[in-house]
Amino acid sequence: MKKVLTYFLLFFFLSSKIFALSLEDIRRAYYMSYRYEMAGDYRDAIRSLMVVFKSYPNGYTVNLRLGWLYYLSKKYSNSIFHYKKAIKVIPYSVEAKLGLTLPLLAQGKYSSVERLCYQILNQDFYNYYGNLRLVYVLRKQKKYDLAEKIINKMLYLYPTDTNFLLELGILKFEKREFNNAKRILNDVLILDPENLKAKLYLERIK
């Protein structure tokens, strides 16, 4: 147990030599941050964590969470800053890279997300969200053949997954393969009858 606690402290504070905050201070800051987030008050959720960030600016966990909260606040440059800082602290972190895709997607930086997703897949070939977000940005860049290859790879593992089926249906629509698109989108609605995006694209085919 002592070894686990020691590892956690090293993981959390990393380069810090002196603990400026007690564990109780840290727990309280995170507790209040999560409470504010649940209430949709992202500004105070961020403010609650700043005492931790100021004491441990190179902490992995605090930067990861600030990246998420700034993303929710639509302050994408700040979000990118903190996610990149988390990645710098732990370069092999898949969760931090997945987090970084979010503000980049919100800014329409599809080529940057593509490169990041390939990094994720080099570490975790079947990562669900890494593959799904890669499919999306490839489709947005009209790289249809690459996108379809990845969709088929994932549907081989998850044949009834509505997210990948939906992407395939939209891809077929954009390629003007309307009969195939209609069939696939109807399959999505069998599995997920209230899927609004599938309904929208089917209306565009009619």
- pTM equals 0.88
DSSP 3-state assignment of 203?
helix
Q: Using the 8-state DSSP alphabet, how is residue 59 labeled? A: -
Class of domain 1-107: mainly alpha
Domain ranges of the chain: 1-107
Q: Using the 8-state DSSP alphabet, how is residue 1 labeled? A: -
Write the pLDDT tens digit of every residue in 46-81.
999 999 999 999 999 999 999 999 999 999 999 999
Alpha helix (H) residue ranges in the chain = 2-13, 23-38, 42-55, 60-72, 76-89, 94-106, 110-123, 128-140, 144-157, 162-174, 178-191, 196-205
**94, 123 Cβ separation under 8 angstroms:** yes
Confidence of residue 11 (pLDDT cuts 50, 70, 90): low
Write the pLDDT tens digit of every residue in 75-127.
999 999 999 999 999 999 999 999 999 999 999 999 999 999 999 999 999 99
